[in-house]
């Protein structure tokens, strides 16, 4: 599909009715939707109401000039990405330089030839389309890189992001608790039934964890058969209670896997508590409590320091 046939909306901002007429005529002939305004304040109103795909913006206008409009747009997250071509009678000088510094893609010297106008507009829109596609792919890659493929849970990278958010919210000294979970005898499941069945068990465990935990905490796959649950709480008691709920639910009903086979599973959990800024120490305490739970018989919850 060509740029001309997309029906992109171009906002033309110029205090000269003649200039607006000539620009609009050329653009409409190429299939663009054109909105015309005579001043900077009107331009910002249109942008807020109807985000255009591109703005042709006159530099020299009374009351609010093009540089002032561009500065406002650059400071607005919703408008900063809108491509802007400046309209000017100059080809150099501080105004043109300032416009480019503020984010204008290019400039057109008035009066501009129709072919040049078409070419600059097409180029600006094509460049914006490529930038949007790159941003979309980057977001998808970022989401994928922070998500465990098997369980759909966040991985360690996602935990780092979550911790940064919590650190800002809790000012670094907020209390948190960590649950370290480990499936009991998981190696035996893999050895006896195969790794595909083991993967089914892990995926099923993630589903059960989501149902039990709900909105009370955030779950991450720590690695292998280990999971980490991050709880924002000033007291370790709610975290220990949640851990007991998880242990009971996981062990209450066997997991159904391929072929209708039922696989009984139990889980051991260690609980640690502390401040968000000392997360590594909290994780270490929870991991130590998990080791104690497994050494003392498995299928149990141990709270660090108790």
Residues labelled catalytic: 225
Judged on CB neighbours under 10 Å (0-12, 13-18, 19+), 257 is buried
Of residues 54, 28, 52, 24, the one with CA closest to residue 38: 24
**CA atoms of 206 and 203, how far apart (whole Å):** 5
CB 9 within 8 A of CB 52: yes
Tokens of 2: 């060509």
Q: Look at the block and give the residue holding tokens 């009991």.
A: 184
The angle formed by the CA atoms of residues 43, 44 and 49, to the nearest 5 degrees, is 100
Of residues 142, 272, 268, the one with CA closest to residue 205: 268
């Amino acid at each position: 599909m060509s740029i001309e046939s997309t029906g992109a909306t171009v906002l033309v901002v110029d205090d000269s009715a003649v200039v607006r007429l000539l620009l609009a005529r050329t653009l409409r002939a190429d299939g663009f939707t054109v909105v015309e305004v005579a001043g900077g304040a009107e331009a910002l109103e249109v942008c807020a109401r109807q985000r255009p795909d591109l703005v042709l913006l006159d530099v020299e206008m009374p009351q609010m000039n093009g540089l002032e409009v561009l500065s406002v747009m650059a400071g607005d997250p919703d408008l900063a990405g809108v491509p802007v071509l400046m309209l000017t009678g100059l080809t150099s000088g501080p105004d043109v330089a300032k416009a480019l510094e503020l984010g204008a893609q290019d400039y057109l010297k008035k009066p501009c030839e129709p072919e040049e106008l078409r070419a600059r507009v097409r180029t600006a829109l094509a460049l914006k389309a490529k930038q949007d596609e790159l941003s979309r792919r980057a977001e998808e890659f970022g989401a994928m890189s922070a998500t465990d493929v098997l369980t759909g849970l966040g991985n360690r990278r996602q935990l780092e992001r979550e911790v940064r958010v919590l650190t800002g919210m809790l000012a670094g000294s907020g209390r948190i608790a960590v649950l370290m979970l480990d499936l009991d005898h998981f190696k035996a499941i893999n050895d006896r039934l195969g790794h595909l069945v083991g993967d089914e068990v892990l995926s099923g465990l993630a589903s059960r964890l989501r149902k039990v935990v709900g909105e009370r905490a955030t779950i991450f796959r720590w690695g292998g058969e280990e999971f980490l649950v991050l709880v924002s709480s000033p007291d370790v008691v709610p975290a220990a209670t949640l851990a007991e709920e998880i242990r009971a639910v996981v062990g209450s009903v066997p997991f159904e896997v391929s072929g209708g086979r039922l696989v009984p599973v139990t889980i051991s959990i260690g609980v640690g508590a502390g401040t968000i800024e000392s997360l590594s120490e909290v994780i270490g305490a929870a991991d130590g409590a998990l080791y104690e739970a497994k050494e003392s018989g498995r299928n149990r919850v141990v709270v660090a320091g108790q």
